Amino acid sequence: MELQLEYFLLLGAALFCIGIYGLVTSRNAVRVLMSVELLLNAVNLNLMGFSNFLDPVEIKGQVFTVFVITVAAAEAAVGLAIILAIYRNRDTIDMEQFNLLKW
Amino acid sequence: MDFSSTVASQLNAGVILPEGLVIITLMVVLVGDIILGRNASRQLSYVAIAGLLGSVVALYFQWDNSQTIGFLGGFNGDNLSIVFRGTIVLSTAFTILMSIRYIQQSGTALAEFVSILLTATLGAMFLCGANDLVMIFLSLETLSISSYLLTGYTKRDPRSNEAALKYLLIGAASSAIFLYGVSLLYGLSGGEIRLDAIAAQLTDLSSGQSLGVAIALVFAIAGIAFKISAVPFHQWTPDVYEGSPTPVVAFLSVGSKAAGFALAIRLLVTVFGQVTPEWQFIFTALAVLSMILGNVVALAQTSMKRMLAYSSIAQAGFVMIGLVAGSDDGYASMVFYLFIYLFMNLGAFTCVILFSLRTGTDQIAEYSGLYQKDPLLTLALSICLLSLGGIPPLAGFFGKIYLFWVGWQAGLYGLVLLGLVTSVVSIYYYIRVVKMMVVKEPHEMSDTVKNYPPIRWNLPGMRPLQVGLVLSLVATTLAGILSNPLFNLANSSISNSSVFQTASTPVILSESIINRQSLSE
Amino acid sequence: MLSAFILLPVLGAILISLVPNTNPNQNRPRIIALLFGGVILLWNVILGFQFDPSQTAMQFTEYIPWISWLGFNYHLGLDGLSLPLLFLNSFLTLIAIYSSNVNIQRPRFYYALILLLSTGVAGAFLAQDLLLFFLFYELEIIPLYFLIAIWGGGRRTYAAMKFLIYTALSGILVLAAFLGLVWFSGASTFDYEPLREQVIPLGIQLWLLAALLVGLLIKIPIFPFHTWLPDAHVEASTPVSVLLAGVLLKLGTYGLLRFGVGLFFEAWITLAPWLATLAAISALYGAFAAIAQQDMKKVVAYSSIAHMAYVLLAASASTPLALTAAMFQMISHGLISALLFLLVGVVYKKTGTRDVNVLRGLLNPEKGLPIIGSLMILGVMASAGIPGMVGFIAEFLVFRAAFPIFPLQTLVCLVGTGLTAVYFLLMINKVFFGRLTESLSQLPQVDWGDRIPAIILALFIVILGLQPSWMVRWSETDATALVVSPSLLSQVAQAPDQALSLGDELSMNVLPSRSGNN
């Protein structure tokens, strides 16, 4: 059986959907952050798949993936820092408790 | 052949000279802060303003540059990007002016704040000129991550924390969704990352491809709509505006939003030229929702910052009329409006900062009777708000006329009429604040205003605030009356930009392919 | 030259706001305002003498390109339609400034706003560019809003906000019509003159005109768009009421003539019967509503609605005679309602009430307000159309012009005129005749300062009533030019007598031969 591009894309899409599900249902801020990471990894899978099948010479997709991973790390760092700050002030990271600002 | 000169001409690094200046400024501020310590932070922020003004000058000299493509197609410094970058740099300069006193009074480090703000500016500037997918993603994230940091800058304030967290989570999710759309574009175009190359690949769509393009379009729009805070991607806006430090809000409402619109124009016009009716439809829906919801919910707000948040949502709705119009004039009207919006909105925020510095509150009710204690503030805030409401002969009126006229020409009668009606609604809530300040009798004065501190401009950091206030006041008053040069500027920025030509002609595209081949050899 | 009407008041407003607050001499803003008002009026009179009424073209035009891409130009011009209204504006502004309370709160802001208001109105009358008209039309909203909201009566914030919302809505409808007109006519500019040649399909014209009409009818106001006016009048202070009734309402009717008739003549003719009917309804409604009022100011406010409806009636007849009549009625209403509001203001100032059920016998020569009362009776007579006063000529002209075209509607309006006499006599009878009650017997003396503006207005009312040609000759030529467009001459020929020179006819002073009233 040959590995086809569709499998990568399907896996990516599945991962993306799991990420979205996690984003919507999680109450814990760290879990939300993890769900965002899932989304980014779905993107990475897509890029790698496309890069392998469509752009094997210049592998721009793989380069892109490196950038995404880097930025995701930065985002996670900032996110965790903010969560840490809010934990110090509020002693909780439960999203439902964050209701100082409401419309 | 001399390798280095070939590379230099290929890179054409001169196009990012303005960004280079901002980077140098950023370095100077960072290093200066480490060497000189906290006492010099105010001087360092003046250095930052000087650097930003230098960047504006550099932008000016790049106007009508014939070689706009730099970095092998990664960056496009055409006139469109110059106008947007100029708007962003100016908004940052204003933001620094108004933040010196604010940040010092909040007891946090000023130089670090300025550094992060400059980083965000850098991201926004690169975003305006970004011409390939990696570049777009990186600059978008540079802007976003710095914005999260800025939002949470007063880290002992739980409201600021909360705003930052909400902004971060929603923002990260939306940029991930945007990125997913981008990855689909990469695949659909058969492995291209340059916008014009992608567009060339997407010219004839098979049915499977067109579904893919539709998904990519929706995901990309989700990312853009988040940046420009269009309904229904606006949920973060009121919270972030209320919770974060006010200078940050000022920057987000102008600089970040301008970058979002620049991205929208470039991405939609270049890449999604084939599905123009589709994205115009989506943006019509977004504009309708933004104008209605933004204006109506703003009526009910009691906090000044929240009201301005909803007002900025509504203003984004107005600007989208220009985007939907889809003509050169439409984009020019957006450029014009954003430029004017820069002054009036930042002017309003300067006033809000000034008031909260003196009284410590942002509630609209607390403004009552202010005219007796602080006529200058009252005048400036009134003018800025009335201009936002589109009252002639202030700048906002001309901006709106231009947008509506362009929309009307494009046949968007319903949208324009809705814009007209909702701008009447907007007059209501803007004038409510003005009424609060001007109309109230002395005995109806709020306690806050009764205890209003004596006006002292010679406190440290107040001068720049005053300069910012007067500048934005003058600009808001005169930009309308003297708007012809601005109109011409906006029009020529569109007509001389390569975005709109590459979308139709493949000439530059083939050049770029040749360039790439010569490099790979 | 014409820019003086726009720049001078702005300059005055700036000067006034620069007067130091701590100055013990609180009168300085007032003096500056009076000075500027006087200079503007003088300038207006000088222009009036240089104005050539026999020309149809715009005179003293000024043209500066503003926003070239939009086709938006700063283009001012003066013709026979704008000159009398411009004069009315300068004149009433001066009167309003003069009759303002000397010890008014926040004088600097107050006088600056009145001058700004004058700028907006003058600019709208002079604008020869549609967007410029709209700009000034909107410009006048904010000063008036503040004038009502700050110096008004008990429910002033409500009334001011209502005024603001209605007028803003009116503004955007007008703007929508203008945008549509320029777009559909394919013109490259918002300039007025070129747009008169537009050829747009009638269907679209009708839509555009409908938008314009609703916008302007709110401003005039015509039933059912009138509800903001009584509130605004009741809450506004006297000088503001004078300006509101005297000048600001004229923006609406001026817009009707200039833009409704001038730009959409074909559609106008189509809609004219409906407009005439609306005018008749509005006249009757205003009259009946006025009868039911207890507040003197409300009586005058509703009479305003009724009288402005005559302008609409004449405009819908749209013959040269009718348009001249519409102009005359505008001026006449401007003078009369200004006089009535001034006098009601004096009564209120002296007695502290405007309730017709409380006031009694103010005409008492010893302890009452005899001169004010006499002037009031004069004003009321003028308003009811007693011969010898300006109201009679105006209404006579209106009915004379409208009757051949819309007989039924004109008859209804005639009934409305009859009702004018009814409600005003009811009011006069209660307030000025009868025994002066004890509570009112110790009225403070009315000083001459309060009487002078009213007397000047009364003089104008009588003079123009005796010598109507002094007024008619300004607008006659231009009113004719407004309707005579080559393709539509057949429409105009319906009314046989407009080719005559009205001025001659009127200077012979047609004797009263009116039916069904007084």
Q: How far is CA C164 from the centre of its chain?
A: 18
Who contacts B109 (Cβ-Cβ below 8 Å, separation ≥6)? B33, B38, B41, B103
Kindly determine whether residue C139 and residue B439, on different chains, have CB atoms separated by under 8 Å: no
C72 three-class SS:
strand
Please, what is the angle between helix B328-359 and helix B304-325, to 10°?
A: 170
Range of B233's domain?
3-520
> Do chains B and A meet with 3 or more Cβ pairs nearer than 8 Å?
yes
Cα separation, C106 vs C147, whole angstroms: 11
> Is C145 touching B (CB cutoff 8 A)?
yes
Q: Which residue has the higher pLDDT, C20 or B471?
A: B471
Mean pLDDT of B465-487: 88
Q: What would the pLDDT profile of B227-245 be if each residue is shown by its tens digit?
A: 999 988 888 999 999 999 9
CA-nearest residue of chain B to C139?
B392
pLDDT of B513 strictly over 80: no
Burial class (CB in 10 A: 0-12, 13-18, 19+), C51: middle
Cα separation, B123 vs C263, whole angstroms: 52
Separation in Å, CA B295 to CA B330, B337, C168: 22, 18, 15
Kindly determine whether residue A42 and residue B177, on different chains, have CB atoms separated by under 8 Å: no
Q: What is the largest CA-CA distance in chain A?
A: 56
Q: Which chains touch A (3 or more CB pairs under 8 A)?
A: B
Kindly determine whether residue B161 and residue A29, on different chains, have CB atoms separated by under 8 Å: no
Q: B394 and B386 in contact (C-beta within 8 Å)?
A: yes
CA-nearest residue of chain C to B434?
C146
> Is A67 touching B (CB cutoff 8 A)?
yes
Residue among C139, C165, C176 minimizing CB distance to B417 = C176
Residue among C142, C145, C179 minimizing CB distance to B405 = C179
Cα separation, C402 vs B403, whole angstroms: 42
Residue among B329, B424, B487 minimizing CB distance to C165 = B424
pLDDT at B509: 39
Listed as ranges, residues in chain A with pLDDT below 70 are 1, 101-103
CA-nearest residue of chain A to B180?
A43
Kindly determine whether residue A71 and residue B186, on different chains, have CB atoms separated by under 8 Å: no
CA atoms within 13 A on the CB side of B189: 28
pLDDT at C68: 80
Listed as ranges, residues in chain C with pLDDT below 50 are 486-518
> Do chains C and A meet with 3 or more Cβ pairs nearer than 8 Å?
no
pLDDT > 90: what percent of chain B? 53
Closest CA to C231 of C173, C306, C166, C308: C166
Kindly determine whether residue A82 and residue B161, on different chains, have CB atoms separated by under 8 Å: yes
Write the DSSP assignment of A23-92 as a string of letters: HHH--BHHHHHHHHHHHHHHHHHHHHHHHHHH-TTT-HHHHHHHHHHHHHHHHHHHHHHHHHHHHHHHS-
Separation in Å, CA B444 to CA B303, B318, B379: 19, 36, 19
Residue among A9, A42, A54 minimizing CB distance to B190 = A54
Q: Which residue has the tokens 């002016």?
A: B97
Closest CA to B255 of B348, B344, B143, B137: B143
Cα separation, A71 vs C243, whole angstroms: 65
Cα separation, C200 vs B311, whole angstroms: 38
Length of chain C: 518
pLDDT at B403: 92
Residue to test with chain C: of B403, B405, B443, B493, most C Cβ within 10 A: B405
> Is A18 touching B (CB cutoff 8 A)?
no
CA atoms within 13 A on the CB side of C340: 31
Considering only CB atoms, which residues of chain B are within 8 Å of chain C? 329, 386, 391-393, 397-398, 401-402, 404-405, 408-409, 416-417, 420-421, 423-424, 427-428, 431, 435, 438-439, 483-484, 487-488, 491
CA angle B134-B136-B142, nearest 5°?
Answer: 100
Cα separation, C427 vs C341, whole angstroms: 14
pLDDT at B510: 40
Write the DSSP assignment of C327-365 as a string of letters: HHHHHHHHHHHHHHHHHHHHHHHHHS--BTTT---TT-T
Radius of gyration of chain B (CA): 22
Chain A hits for B134, CB-CB cut-off 8 Å, are 60, 63-64, 67
Tokens linked to B456: 């002292």
Chain B hits for C167, CB-CB cut-off 8 Å, are none
Closest CA to A18 of A1, A51, A2, A40: A40
Q: What is the DSSP secondary structure assignment for residue C127, as one 8-state letter?
A: B
> Is B177 touching A (CB cutoff 8 A)?
yes
Q: C420 and C385 in contact (C-beta within 8 Å)?
A: yes
* b/e B332-357 (16+ beta carbons within 10 angstroms → b): bbbbbbbbbbbbbbbbbbbbbbbbbb
Side chain identity at residue B298, one-letter code: A
Chain B hits for A31, CB-CB cut-off 8 Å, are none
Kindly determine whether residue C149 and residue B435, on different chains, have CB atoms separated by under 8 Å: yes
CA-nearest residue of chain B to C148?
B439
Which value does ipTM take for this structure? Answer: 0.95
Cα separation, B42 vs C155, whole angstroms: 50
Q: Which chains touch C (3 or more CB pairs under 8 A)?
A: B
Mean pLDDT of B285-289: 94
Cα separation, B352 vs B384, whole angstroms: 11
Q: C118 and C9 in contact (C-beta within 8 Å)?
A: yes
Kindly determine whether residue B439 and residue C138, on different chains, have CB atoms separated by under 8 Å: no
Chain B hits for A68, CB-CB cut-off 8 Å, are 137, 179
Kindly determine whether residue B186 and residue A23, on different chains, have CB atoms separated by under 8 Å: no
CA angle B221-B225-B226, nearest 5°?
Answer: 120
Give the bridge partners for C78, in sequence order. Answer: C59
pLDDT at B409: 87
Q: Which residue has the tokens 């603001």?
A: C164
Chain C hits for B428, CB-CB cut-off 8 Å, are 161, 164-165
Mean pLDDT of B207-216: 82
Q: What is the DSSP secondary structure assignment for residue C257, as one 8-state letter?
A: I
Mean pLDDT of B37-62: 91
Cα separation, B26 vs B130, whole angstroms: 20
Q: B340 and B396 in contact (C-beta within 8 Å)?
A: yes
How many structural domains comprise chain B? 1
Least Cα separation, residue B196 to chain A (angstroms): 16
Write the DSSP assignment of C269-284 as a string of letters: HHHHHHHHHHHHHHHH
Kindly determine whether residue B137 and residue A67, on different chains, have CB atoms separated by under 8 Å: yes
> Is C142 touching B (CB cutoff 8 A)?
yes
Beta pairing class for B75-76 and B69-70:
antiparallel
pLDDT of B520 strictly over 70: no
Residue to test with chain B: of A34, A35, A53, A78, most B Cβ within 10 A: A78
Q: Which residue has the tokens 């496309």?
A: A50
pLDDT at C184: 86
Q: B491 and B329 in contact (C-beta within 8 Å)?
A: yes
For chain C, helix, strand, coil in percent to 5 are: 70, 5, 25
> Is C22 touching B (CB cutoff 8 A)?
no
Side chain identity at residue B24, one-letter code: I
pLDDT at B418: 93
> Is B170 touching A (CB cutoff 8 A)?
no
> Is A55 touching B (CB cutoff 8 A)?
yes
> Is A2 touching B (CB cutoff 8 A)?
no
Cβ pairs B/C, distance under 8 A: 74
Q: How far is CA B392 from the centre of its chain?
A: 24
pLDDT of B52 strictly over 90: yes
Give the bridge partners for B69, in sequence order. Answer: B76
Closest CA to B351 of B425, B259, B249: B249
Ranges B53-67, B443-457, B464-478, C170-184: which has the least confidence? B443-457
> Is C315 touching B (CB cutoff 8 A)?
no
pLDDT at C494: 43
CA-nearest residue of chain B to C134?
B392
Kindly determine whether residue A82 and residue B133, on different chains, have CB atoms separated by under 8 Å: no
Closest CA to A27 of A102, A85, A84, A93: A93
What global pTM score does this model have? 0.90
Chain C hits for B488, CB-CB cut-off 8 Å, are 68-69
> Is B515 touching A (CB cutoff 8 A)?
no
Q: Which residue has the higher pLDDT, B9 or B239?
A: B239
pLDDT at C365: 73
CA-nearest residue of chain C to B402?
C70
B171 three-class SS:
helix
Q: A71 and B141 in contact (C-beta within 8 Å)?
A: yes
Cis peptide before B393 (omega within 30 of 0): yes
> Is C150 touching B (CB cutoff 8 A)?
yes
Name the helix (H) or strand (E) containing C64.
strand C59-67
Kindly determine whether residue A89 and residue B187, on different chains, have CB atoms separated by under 8 Å: no
Q: What would the pLDDT profile of B75-126 be if each residue is shown by its tens digit?
A: 988 889 999 999 999 999 999 999 999 998 888 889 999 999 999 999 999 9
Kindly determine whether residue B393 and residue C135, on different chains, have CB atoms separated by under 8 Å: yes
Cα separation, C497 vs C108, whole angstroms: 52
